[in-house]
Structure 1
């Protein structure tokens, strides 16, 4: 029996954010993607309003049509490529939130999470990609950027490129019944959210510090790009002209940075303007004092202080290094 346009639109309207219409049409990969991203962060769900007729036509297409086209290699899709990068980063962040404390995180967990997210996007329609090559690319890139907060970005980009280069049409197969499909989707949904459940039980403080590091790196990249015109103008015009308004923005960012540095100095128990030698000395003393292994009776407080001390030290070290350039 063919799929109905009316039923599809009704399911899109009342359960589209969770992929109900895709489940109805047999698009399980697309349904799973919508389940874990709430309809492609809402935007994908809205844009689908105009795509539903083509989805229904494809669902009603006979298997013979698929068998005639399965040997054709699809061309690279820019939209799909950027969607893969975004979802790869999203899956990577979820892994960071729940699993970043594991010793195997950069070896296994991060490339596995990013690679699976990218492959899920590659498989949402009649196309798919080579999962093994995608995971291999993610794993190698993750090792290159080992323990760097920004690692999820290059891992997602490289793995998405490899996935795009290995796109192909899915081989036609017999569809399983609804109960089997629902069981698989349920397992995949639980697997995705297990890291978040693990976070709620175990490593909240550590994850917060890691996310803060990622936000700091992204902010640095953004400000470098934002202030590039100002830097060029300052170099060649000695500070005259239209870009004088940028100086107000620069002063604002510097003031925010100064407030952050003040907090970091207080965390380490130092006066503003302490030397790098004084910072390093105090850091070593505080790390020994607040190491969780040395404070078994109040380990939660010690872990929180330990991470705050590490974050403050990294921040001040970075500021001192920037001031020397």
Structure 2
């Protein structure tokens, strides 16, 4: 069934940041990238407006007979910049959402997956093992620090560009339900660690909020307790000093009467 440009533009306008127009055109890698970055951080969604006619023509079979076997795609600085940016984005998400996973494992793996995703957009792809090898090697060199996500992403992107190639033609495409299922699993795998970290943070915030009323009551009672301690220190309260003083006066008065009786 042929793809219509008007439908593609409608999906671009309604759900472009979620990649609905890419799903319609069979560009699942591009759709997944847009889902995880909300339309390429907004800029990619606007950039799609000018390329929709060419993508619709390609989806309808324009240029399908062209033989590109053995040829290497031209170097694209835009794709290279996207690989570096998305690789860094995936690395930071892994650092935030997977703090219990060793950084030597989580960071290069996430960066490599992000670079691989950008590399597989459109009619191009690359070798995933080469990307992961470059990412893990760069991560070892920089000791997996948070700021090391930039050189790790650059190394993985350079490896992806060195092994870039065109996708094989004639590969049967899965049906739409299977494609949506795979896209949903990928989004769930990306969002689950962040959701878990967010729930843990929300639980900690809730426990802190529950302790605020008790802390407020303790703060309000603090002046009263300080006044009571000060009064006890000065002997104003308690009554024992007055009783002791009164008994002393009584004893001194009884001694004077005894003295007068003795003189008489």
TM-score tier, shorter chain, comes to 0.7 to 0.9
2:181 counterpart residue number: 183
Instruction: Report the 3-state secondary structure (helix = DSSP H, G, I; strand = E; otherwise coil) of the residue aligned with 1:158.
Output: helix
How many pairs does the alignment contain? 204
Deviations 1:162-220 (A, max 9, x none): 0011000001210110000000000001011122023124479xxxxxxxxxxxxxxxx
Q: Is the contact between residue 74 and residue 167 of structure 1 (CA under 8 Å) also seen in structure 2? A: yes
1:82 counterpart residue number: 81
What is the distance in 1 between the residues matched to 2:64 and 2:42? 34
Cα distance change, pair 202–141 in 1 and its aligned pair in 2 (3 A): farther
What is the distance in 2 between the residues matched to 1:168 and 1:197? 36
> 1:73 and 2:72 equivalent?
yes
Cα distance change, pair 34–65 in 1 and its aligned pair in 2 (3 A): same
Q: Is the contact between residue 107 and residue 144 of structure 2 (CA under 8 Å) also seen in structure 1? A: no
Alpha-carbon shift at residue 100 of structure 1 (Å): 2.7
2:127 counterpart residue number: 130
Instruction: Report the 3-state secondary structure (helix = DSSP H, G, I; strand = E; otherwise coil) of the residue aligned with 1:164.
Output: helix
Which of structures 1 and 2 has the bigger CA Rg? 2
Alpha-carbon shift at residue 148 of structure 1 (Å): 1.9
1:96 counterpart residue number: 95
1:9 counterpart residue number: 9
1:213 counterpart residue number: none
Alpha-carbon shift at residue 63 of structure 1 (Å): 8.6
Q: CA RMSD in A?
A: 2.1
2:34 counterpart residue number: 34
What is the distance in 2 between the residues matched to 1:24 and 1:91? 26
> 1:19 and 2:22 equivalent?
no
Alpha-carbon shift at residue 75 of structure 1 (Å): 1.8
Following TM superposition, the consecutive aligned residue runs of length 4 or more in structure 1 with deviations greater than 3 angstroms are: 201-204
Unaligned residue ranges in structure 1 (runs of 5+): 205-297, 299-325
Instruction: Report the 3-state secondary structure (helix = DSSP H, G, I; strand = E; otherwise coil) of the residue aligned with 1:56.
Output: helix
What is the distance in 2 between the residues matched to 1:91 and 1:63? 34
What is the distance in 1 between the residues matched to 2:69 and 2:17? 30
What is the distance in 2 between the residues matched to 1:203 and 1:164? 39
Deviations 1:54-96 (A, max 9, x none): 1111111169526x22432112111110110000011111101
What is the distance in 2 between the residues matched to 1:186 and 1:141? 31
What is the distance in 2 between the residues matched to 1:132 and 1:147? 19
Q: Is the contact between residue 101 and residue 203 of structure 1 (CA under 8 Å) also seen in structure 2? A: no
> 1:51 and 2:48 equivalent?
no
What is the distance in 2 between the residues matched to 1:20 and 1:189? 14
Q: Is the contact between residue 72 and residue 166 of structure 2 (CA under 8 Å) also seen in structure 1? A: yes
Q: Is the contact between residue 76 and residue 165 of structure 1 (CA under 8 Å) also seen in structure 2? A: no
Cα distance change, pair 22–14 in 1 and its aligned pair in 2 (3 A): same
1:119 counterpart residue number: 116
What aligned pairs does 1:258-269 form with structure 2 within 5 A after superposition?
none
Unaligned residue ranges in structure 2 (runs of 5+): 203-207, 209-264
1:110 counterpart residue number: 107
